[in-house]
Structure 1
Amino acid sequence: MKAFLHPSENRGHVKMGWLESKHSFSFGNWYNPNYMGVSALRVINDDLIDGHQGFGTHPHDNMEILTCVLKGTITHQDSMGNHGGIAAGEWQLMSAGTGVRHSEMNQGDEQVHLLQIWIIPKERNAKPNYQQIRLDPHEQPNQWHLICGPNDNAPMHIRQNAEVKTAVIQQGHSLEVKATQHINYVHVVSGTVQIAEHTVKAGGAIAFLEDSEIKASEDAQVIWFDLPEVPN
């Protein structure tokens, strides 16, 4: 199986006071020409945010911004009028479209751990939109859970021909990866998995074209991005 392995240790590591972040792809002050994204997937930032800190109000446009909270609760507020908490096991999708301003703040005492994911939309300058769901794969392990996609059957609608799925795979169990698009990109949130002859540890990822199988060497959570060959 032809594959591109992205080891965890190759991520950018940024520590600035209240924020510790590991960047899968070039972002902010960390730049690596070998890691500029895959298809429409542009950003995966693994963030630790100290208590009573966070991202103050700032703008975005023409980006699908998916947030996965792994620990704690982050408080969201935006110029569309949305305001509330996103807790561990919940997912937020903000379609920035023509432009939106928002903040993401940790109002508690303990660190918040989250993944910030950016996907380039196929439709530019659309009306901004906000969606939020609870879907904790730990509650139903060893199966894929669709988070967002382009069709009406998806829990959240994304403006790109892409699907995002997640799963908790218990040690010794396996799941098939069969793409509906063309490029598979599997990011390991926790644990260790085997994909063909490759071992992928927490924070690492692998991109591949053919259908394959993921087997958990230890209990693991993964996110599978089913991406178009060329972004629309």
Structure 2
Amino acid sequence: MDAFLHKSENRGHVKMGWLESRHSFSFGNWYNPNYRGVSALRVINDDLIDAHQGFGQHPHDNMEILTCVLKGTITHQDSMGNHGGISAGEWQLMSAGAGVRHSEMNQGDEQVHLLQIWIIPNERDAEPNYQQIRLDPHEQPNQWHLICGPNTNAPMHIRQNAEVKTAVIEQGRALPIKATQYINYVHVLEGSVQIGEYTLNAGDALAFLEEVEIKALENAQLIWFDLPEVKHQDS
């Protein structure tokens, strides 16, 4: 199997007071030329945010920003007029387009755990847009759940020829996976899985082209990025 294994321990690890983050790809002050993104996938930051802390108002443009909350509730506010909480089991997609300002704050008394994911759009300077859904794969395990895609019938619409799916696979069960675009990138959130000859644990990821089966060695949650063939771009 021709694949690229990205081990959790090779992620960038940043601890700045209230924020502990692990970067799958080069981000901020952490740079590694071997990890600059896969296809249009530019950022996967695995963040732990302390109580009553967070990211104050700051700008973005021309980026599809997907947030997956795993524990707690983060409060979002932006220059489009959106304001509210995103809790565990919910997903937020902010298409920054021509430009937007936003904040993400943990207003609760417990630590928040979330993933922030950036995907480079295929359309520049579009009108900013905000979408949010609840989709907890623990409630319907052993199947893929589409989070966002380029078609209007997807739960959330993304400005890129890419699909993002998630699944919980119970121990001993398996799911098939096949790219409909070009390349697969599978990131393990929890548990342990077998993909071909590769064993992946929480925080590990695998990029590959083949059609394969993913088997859960223990209960596992995954995110699957079905990505187009594009040249790497820096944000």
Same fold (TM over 0.5): yes
Counterpart of 2:130 in structure 1 is: 130
- In 2, Cα distance between equivalents of 1:112 and 1:48: 6
Partner of 2:201: 201
Distance in structure 1 (CA, Å) of the matches to 2:230 and 2:55: 32
Residue 97 (structure 1) aligns with: 97
Counterpart mapping for 1:18-167 below 5 A? 18-167=18-167
- Conserved 8 A contact 1:89-1:136: yes
Report the Cα distance in structure 2 between the residues aligned to 1:31 and 1:179, rounded to whole angstroms: 28
Partner of 1:228: 228
Aligned residues: 232
Deviation at 1:10, TM superposition (A): 0.3
Q: Which amino acid aligns with 2:90?
A: E
Report the residue type matching 2:18 in the other structure.
W
Q: Structure 1 regions of 5+ residues with no counterpart? A: none
Q: Report the alpha carbon displacement of residue 153 of structure 1 after superposing the two structures with TM.
A: 1.8
Q: Which amino acid aligns with 2:180?
A: T
Structure-1 separation of matches of 2:89 and 2:193: 21
**Runs of 5+ consecutive residues of structure 2 not aligned to the other structure:** none
Q: Relative to structure 2, which stretch is displaced further, 174-183 or 54-63?
A: 174-183
Supply the distance in 2 between the matched residues of 1:67 and 1:222 (Cα, whole angstroms): 15
- C-alpha displacement at 1:231, in angstroms? 5.6
Structure-1-length-normalised TM-score:
0.99
SS of residue in 1 equivalent to 2:229 = coil
Separation in structure 1 between the aligned mates of residue 231 and residue 13 of structure 2, nearest angstrom: 27
Q: Which runs of 4+ in 1 moved over 6 A?
A: none
Work out the CA distance in 1 between the residues paired with 2:131 and 2:199.
34
SS of equivalent residue, structure 1 residue 5: strand
Asked if 2 retains the 8 angstrom alpha-carbon contact of 1:122 and 1:231, the reply is no
Partner of residue 181, structure 2: 181
Identity value in percent: 85
State the one-letter code of the partner of 2:106.
N
TM-score normalised by the chain length of structure 2: 0.98
C-alpha distance in 1 between matches for 2:171 and 2:182: 28
Q: CA deviation at 1:85?
A: 0.1
Q: Residue type of the partner of 2:104?
A: E
Supply the distance in 1 between the matched residues of 2:100 and 2:226 (Cα, whole angstroms). Answer: 26
CA RMSD of aligned residues (A): 0.9
Cα distance 1:231–1:151, how it changes in 2: closer, same or farther (>3 A)?
A: farther
The one-letter amino acid of 2:9's match is E
SS of the equivalent of 2:218 reads coil
* Whole-angstrom distance in 1 between the partners of 2:46 and 2:229: 25
Residues 121 and 159, structure 1, Cα contact 8 Å, conserved in 2: yes
Q: CA separation in 2, counterparts of 1:26 and 1:217?
A: 30
Structure 2: how far apart are the matches of 1:159 and 1:134? 20
- In structure 2, the residue corresponding to 1:42 is in which secondary structure? strand
For 1:15 and 1:178, how far apart are their aligned partners in 2?
A: 36
C-alpha separation between the residues in 1 aligned to 2:98 and 2:227? 23
